[in-house]
Structure 1
Amino acid sequence: MSEVKVVSEIAASVWKIQANPGDRVEEGDVILILESMKMEIPVTAPQAGTVQAILVREGETVEEDQHVATLAG
């Protein structure tokens, strides 16, 4: 079983977490939503798998390319 890192594409704040550890996701499913300059930016699963960990909290600021979640593929 491979581990896949999910990263933020931009610096933003975590607006809403959509998936929880143990959830099964398909490629393209939204894992969390970032907010930057009043825009909502979805962070999606790069492949199908099971969410192992969410590494951020709602309201937290993240940097570009920050590891925000881990999937087991």
Structure 2
Amino acid sequence: MNEVKASMAGSVWKIVAQQGEEISEGQDIAILESMKMEIPIPAESGGTIKELKVSEGDFVNEGDVIAIIE
């Protein structure tokens, strides 16, 4: 199990991957918006998205879990 965490504080602008989707290392899971910049959040390893912990519009802090990959 691998947790994908936010690299900085910001709002979840867009969820790119869906729960149950098979993803590869480096594939974007979500895009944060902070200070009018878009920051992609990539998977650190490949696998299946077991759970998305955020929704579009949510605010996250640095280190918050975005998704869990198995």
- Is TM > 0.5 for Structure 1 vs Structure 2? yes
Question: Counterpart amino acid of 1:10?
Answer: M
Structure 2 gaps, min length 5: none
The equivalent of 1:46 in structure 2 is: 44
* Aligned residue number for residue 27 of structure 2: 29
CA RMSD for the aligned pairs? 0.5
Q: How does 1:58-69 map to 2 (within 5 A)?
A: 58-69=56-67
- TM-score, normalization: structure 1? 0.94
Give the Cα–Cα distance (whole angstroms) in 2 for the partners of residues 23 and 67 of structure 1: 17
Matches of 1:62 and 1:53 in 2, distance apart?
16
Whole-angstrom CA distance in 2 between matches of 1:69 and 1:22: 11
- What TM-score results when the alignment is normalised by the length of structure 2? 0.98
Matched length:
70
Runs of 4+ with deviation above 2 angstroms = none
Q: Percent identity?
A: 44
